[in-house]
Amino acid sequence: MTRAEQRQYKREIKNEIAQFFKIQNHYFPDLIEDIRKVLDGRNTSYTTYEIEVILYVMILKNVCSIESMKEMSSSFNEDELVKNVYKVLKLDPKEYLPHYVTINDCLSKLGVKELEKIRKNMIYTILRKRSFQDARFLKKHWCVIIDATQLYSFEKRHCEHCLTKTFNKGEENEKKIYYHQVLEAKIVLGDNLVFSIATEFIENEQEELSKQDCERKAFKRLAKSLKQIFPRLPICILGDSLYACEPVFNICKENKWEFLIRYKDGSIPTLAEEYGEIKGMGEAQEKAVDVEKIYKRKANVISKYEMKWVNDLDYKGCTVTVMELEIQRDKKKSLKFQWITSMEINFNTAKKFADTGRSRWMIENEGFKIQKHHRYIITHKNSLDYTALKNHYLITQIADMLVQLYENGIKGIKELKRTIANIAKGLLDSLRLIPLTAEDLEYEKIRIGQNES
């Protein structure tokens, strides 16, 4: 890219927050109104700030990658920023935005379902626009990745819902920690777009239970919610080897979902044995392809994909396919993967199954790793109230949709190779320094698809 081109892109995105609002207004023209309709749990006789102010300030906190509530109150204490927020919300301006104590008090009284409704409306809006149809697996199924992660940990019990883990049990240095986990369902809408569509908090009903809540138990609840929210959505569940089990297969079958799950021989030994016998007899189907990875500034790398699979295997009434993939690169150790799926594989689709199966890492990178360590720091305790903590997490998932669409919708961001920190800084600086105009907040037609900038 020439220096003249760089300057042109910089001029085009100079008012970065205005570009962000154009993306928001294009994809979610009803977002502010949906936030306004949230059932406020506070006593309205004693409220100073409207619910949409509270929630939208928190969305902007995440959009601008501000880690703590105190830092947010300090960063947002700017005259122009306050005016801009009220312009976006179309409210008469006040002198200040709400203090973080006021916000946390509101979030502690807000029902979690209220934020889930907003997220559901956003996902419905995205799917109705049909901008991401090319992201469907085999031109039919929406890939939904399931995975869990730890959010908060404590040295002492935080609440009755804490999970517990004991290290060095029975030894002098025995230690117990208390923590909270979450199970996520995220829909894949493209190479760089992974949106939260359902959340289940892994939590104990009360203290000192003989059996704690766990990821598989939470999946049953998550699957029920997912089916209620999207009853007719054609889904293919992607998950790690923890989900290679009969209860998960049955849930998918009952919900008319497909699945493509990472599989290890130890997960279902009888199935592994049957697959091994058929492969040993030379009756497994095979396909090998060369895959070239193209680099701009170094030599291209060619990998060899060797795929083998056996269809129509029976496991306790479920018809499944077992597939394995070995990737070989020059003078490098080969990588091996194995999956189990409810769908039949053929020579035309084998490579698609292999690529889709490997895409499960996206929830760890796009979904959790970036959210934990680079953008939102979702492990930071923004409140000590458990309900407020849940709402903080859900607001982050709502903000994350907006940020991903912004990054993928503004061409200059990709061309200039802006880092996460620079993107957040640019948004915050423009929000604090540049007055928004009526034109900045107008609807603008923008199309962002799987293969578009």
> How confident is the model at residue 325, as a pLDDT?
93
Q: Which of 97, 95, 75, 90 is nearest to 431 (CA)?
A: 75
The residue segments making up the domain with residue 275 are 241-359
Residue 245 and residue 354 share a domain: yes
> Can you tell me the distance from the alpha carbon of 341 to that of 311, in angstroms, rounded to the nearest whole number?
9
- pLDDT, average across residues 393-417: 87
Q: Which residue is it, tokens 């039949």?
A: 344
DSSP classification of residue 299? -
Q: Is residue 173 part of a domain?
A: no
Of 302, 324, 359, the position where a domain reaches its end is 359
Q: CA 179, 181, 182: angle at the middle one, nearest 5?
A: 160
Of 299, 324, 359, the position where a domain reaches its end is 359
User: Could you give the percent of the chain with pLDDT greater than 70?
Assistant: 91
Q: What is the pLDDT of residues 366-391, one digit of tens each?
A: 567 888 877 888 889 999 999 999 99
Q: Label residue 248 by pLDDT band (50, 70, 90).
A: very high
Residue 109 and residue 52 share a domain: yes
Residue 328 and residue 246 share a domain: yes
User: Half-sphere exposure (CA, 13 Å, Cβ side) for 188?
Assistant: 29
> How confident is the model at residue 82, as a pLDDT?
97
> How confident is the model at residue 171, as a pLDDT?
83
- pLDDT, average across residues 235-247: 94
Residue 72 and residue 36 share a domain: yes
Choice among 65-74, 181-190, 411-420 with the minimum mean pLDDT: 411-420
- pLDDT, average across residues 7-18: 74
Residue 266 and residue 330 share a domain: yes
Q: Is residue 204 part of a domain?
A: no
Instruction: Report whether 405 contacts 27 (CB < 8 A).
Output: yes
Q: Is residue 336 part of a domain?
A: yes
Residue 402 and residue 352 share a domain: no
Name the pTM for this structure: 0.91
> How confident is the model at residue 12, as a pLDDT?
64
Q: What is the pLDDT of residues 67-76, one digit of tens each?
A: 999 999 999 9
Higher pLDDT pick, 409 / 136: 136
Q: What is the pLDDT of residues 419-438, one digit of tens each?
A: 888 999 999 999 999 999 98
Torsion (CA) 328, 330, 333, 336 in degrees, nearest 10: -10
Q: Is residue 255 part of a domain?
A: yes
> How confident is the model at residue 45, as a pLDDT?
83
- pLDDT, average across residues 151-165: 91
Residue 296 and residue 347 share a domain: yes
Percent helix, strand and coil across the chain, each rounded to 5? 45, 25, 35
- C-alpha distances (whole Å) from 424 to each of 349, 407, 418 are 40, 11, 10
Is residue 66 helix, strand or coil?
Answer: coil
> How confident is the model at residue 177, as a pLDDT?
92
Mean pLDDT for all residues in the chain = 89
The total number of structural domains that make up the chain: 2
Residue 388 and residue 344 share a domain: no
Q: Is residue 148 part of a domain?
A: no
Q: Is residue 311 part of a domain?
A: yes
Of 300, 325, 359, the position where a domain reaches its end is 359
Q: Is residue 74 part of a domain?
A: yes
> Can you tell me the distance from the alpha carbon of 255 to that of 204, in angstroms, rounded to the nearest whole number?
26
- pLDDT, average across residues 164-189: 90
> How confident is the model at residue 391, as a pLDDT?
97
Q: Does the structure show a pLDDT above 60 at 450?
A: no
> How confident is the model at residue 452, as a pLDDT?
42
Q: Does the structure show a pLDDT above 80 at 231?
A: yes
- pLDDT, average across residues 407-428: 83
Q: Count Cβ atoms below 10 Å from residue 400 Cβ, excluding itself.
A: 24
Residue 340 and residue 285 share a domain: yes
Cβ neighbours of residue 299 closer than 8 Å, sequence gap 6 or more: none
Token reading at 75: 């960063």
Residue 424 and residue 350 share a domain: no
